[in-house]
Amino acid sequence: MAQSKVVTVTVEDRIAWVNFARSDKRNAMNPELNRQMMATLDELEFRDDVGVLVLGGEGTAWSAGMDLKEYFRETEARGLRGVRESQRESYGWFRRLRWFQKPTIAMVNGWCFGGGFGPLFACDLAICADEAKFGLSEINWGILPGGGVTKVVVDLLSMRDAMWLTLTGDLIDGRQASAMRLVNESVPLDQLKARTTEVARTLLMKNPVALKYAKDAVRRVGTMTYDEAEDYLVRMQEAANFHDRSDGRKEGIRQFIDEKSYKPGLGPYDLAKAAARSSA
């Protein structure tokens, strides 16, 4: 039987707008959605016409978390094999998104519960609507926030805020989420897409190889000692130099020092000029 589309994608001006699209179920993540998300990430990751991925939600929700019926009850009924299979599928695409080749932005329009914190954290940046509502509802239906969620809140929030959300299941709105640093910014819902587009365009102007190595570095160094991080960053810059066919760093220096056409302190070098030179 053909499965309905529960993930939608539109690529426009190098931004891939990927949406949770099960609005009748508040975009709860069932196994089918998890599989479609993985396939979508596979399809988009190395496309030349995609420079940034935005993850949004259709309808009133971003995502109401894991699907209680199809992800929990029905897979549990299939025994350990079913449970592990569905965990692999969901954790799999969250992990894939955390290390995605292009920068990613969570655009949180509405409800974001429990398991939804997985993809929220997986996105590099997060912008939400003031009207969005976030909550760790797990405690309300009798489990702990699993699937990495407890780790997400401990990494992103203060211990007191993490503990409060975990134990009370209280909702916070977009402004509170921004004040807690669960997201970067909160804006009124009617400005959410415009603001997200603006941030995405800022990223599109940067060297894409540098973006990938820089975002991975931010996630990696947190668990390293200073010396390990120093070494990792040296090696990663050398790897980036190898992968950056445009020799971006040299071009960036050239446009500043020789051409005096921009100032790195105030904005990025001109990628188009670099591309034209490397293809000449």
Using the contact rule CB under 6 A, the part of the chain among 40-48, 64-72, 157-165, 210-218 near ligand COA is: 64-72
Does 55 contact ligand COA by CB under 6 A? Answer: no
CB-based contact 105:16 (threshold 8 Å): no
Q: How far apart are CA 265 and CA 273, in angstroms?
A: 19
Does 67 contact ligand COA by CB under 6 A? Answer: yes
Tabulate helix, strand, coil % of the chain (nearest 5): 55, 15, 30
Q: Which of 68, 210, 217, 233 binds ligand COA (CB under 6 A)?
A: 68
Using the contact rule CB under 6 A, the part of the chain among 34-42, 66-74, 181-189, 208-216 near ligand COA is: 66-74
Could you tell me where the DSSP H helices lie in 126-268?
A: 138-141, 149-156, 159-168, 174-180, 192-204, 208-221, 226-243, 248-257
Name the residue nearer to ligand COA (CB basis): 73 or 243.
73
Nearest to 207 by CA among 51, 30, 66, 24: 51
CA atoms within 13 A on the CB side of 108: 35
- Smallest gap from Cβ 155 to ligand COA, in A, equals 18
Which pair of tokens denotes residue 51?
């420079």
Backbone angles phi and psi of 275, in degrees to 5: -65, -40
Does 187 contact ligand COA by CB under 6 A? Answer: no
- Smallest gap from Cβ 39 to ligand COA, in A, equals 22
3-state secondary structure of 77: helix
- Smallest gap from Cβ 112 to ligand COA, in A, equals 9
Q: Which of 7, 17, 20, 26 binds ligand COA (CB under 6 A)?
A: 26
Q: Which of 56, 57, 103, 115 binds ligand COA (CB under 6 A)?
A: 115
Q: Which of 36, 104, 137, 176 binds ligand COA (CB under 6 A)?
A: 137
Name the residue nearer to ligand COA (CB basis): 90 or 255.
90
